[in-house]
Structure 1
């Protein structure tokens, strides 16, 4: 297990339990107590946890991990989901992409799609995004027109939020909105932890002809603080094959096409 994977797992356990002891973490991750202490010291330096005598407790930001620590979570599932989502987008479409690990993978899949890359004249795809990391990757692709909203950058997700982001999004028209979210609940719909992100994502969804939600199975049946859109406003939910059948049935019964990949 790499250092990055250990750190990610430690933060996940803290998010679930609120606290963990050095000995417990060492046994869980199969490394020495000395290694765990060094890991905890480094994560404390980054203000991602708080050290205690003999362990660590949850810090204020651990519920919403920075993007760099989310990348390794459900990585294979996210790749499959991203590939499937990218396959739903026809050439020439105008697509909104919010921030997140899964939507970042979608952007990479779109950027390397052969039918788009082979276009020699004009714009093969227009991407509107409030995620500065996605814009950075797409801006070098001459066949992709990249439109970036204004706003204030959130360091956890690289998303631009606030009135400037919403102002741009409220004055454009999208064929598709591809949204990564923190939770998808059959009753509460798609939601995010941060209300600023949810507001920008909601504006994107409202301007789209079709809303595609990309969410791995760990996010299904969960609720988060701020709603992005109601369940019946989602045209397609792309998730992985570990999605519980009962949840898939409840979501699809409300008119959502659910793709398990």
Structure 2
């Protein structure tokens, strides 16, 4: 899928999720493409059960379809996620490092910044991150194994958990679907949550990366309480009241526009 189409499809999914329904003619005018192009986009998304086509447009899929596949999330909040990834990269300690990375669009952007590092061992359960890092000759890569989740490109389940339980990580960077003072770290799938929790427990220092849309949000499955987290890296769109509550829970909160430096682990 071309980047332009991926961005368009991501925007369509965001719109139908927020509004409940969309009009094909309005979308064609907005994106500067033909109505036939929009109809093909809608058909593709209906085939994947991400929405339901109607005469002249589409409506949201069933309420149970809450998690967008990661390939459709890359265009959402892209600039914010890139800024968060750069800041998280700057927070990593210098010198030899054993780093854990869960799946997620922001952790994937962080992985792309690691080409400049040496003496780095990366442990990941994300297939797309592993494919990126396997090309770097100065980096040691460890994959967990496990069962793939197509929505997140992550390997999860008992095989992944057993691998992680045999390792010691200095730092883990955790991607989440929601983070709040009341609910802690959450995601859409309980099995994925358990594997991510296992990685988090194996790390001496935990950094969570989450754009502002995820702050204050609680999803189905709990990964871990906030007491497990050292630093949350987010962006200026995050709810300030929720961020203050997260700070009061003992987490250092750093925004991509915030000059605060929490120091290196």
2:28 & 2:137 partners in 1: Cα distance? 48
Q: Which residue of the partner structure matches residue 256 of structure 1?
A: 251
Aligned-pair Cα RMSD in Å: 2.0
Alpha-carbon contact 2:216-2:239 (below 8 Å) kept: no
Count of equivalent residues: 252
Alpha-carbon contact 2:51-2:59 (below 8 Å) kept: yes
Kindly state the Cα deviation for residue 215 of structure 1 after the two structures are TM-superposed: 0.4
Equivalent positions of 1:84-233 (< 5 A) are 84-90=87-93, 91-111=95-115, 113=116, 116=117, 119=118, 124-233=119-228
Kindly state the Cα deviation for residue 187 of structure 1 after the two structures are TM-superposed: 0.9
1:143 & 1:34 partners in 2: Cα distance? 47
Q: Which residue of the partner structure matches residue 67 of structure 1?
A: 70
Q: Deviations over 1:197-218 (max 9, x none)?
A: 1111000111111110000001
- Report the CA distance shift for 1:62/1:13 in structure 2 as closer, same or farther (over 3 A): farther
Kindly state the Cα deviation for residue 12 of structure 1 after the two structures are TM-superposed: 1.0
Kindly state the Cα deviation for residue 139 of structure 1 after the two structures are TM-superposed: 1.4
1:251 & 1:44 partners in 2: Cα distance? 38
Kindly state the Cα deviation for residue 33 of structure 1 after the two structures are TM-superposed: 4.5
Q: Which residue of the partner structure matches residue 79 of structure 1?
A: 82
Kindly state the Cα deviation for residue 24 of structure 1 after the two structures are TM-superposed: 5.4
Unmatched tracts of structure 1, length 5 or more:
none
After the TM superposition, which of the residue ranges 247-256 and 27-36 deviates more from structure 2?
A: 27-36
TM-score of the superposed pair, with normalisation by structure 1: 0.89
1:140 & 1:31 partners in 2: Cα distance? 37
1:42 & 1:205 partners in 2: Cα distance? 36
Q: Deviations over 1:43-94 (max 9, x none)?
A: 2234432212332233357521111111111111111111111112122111
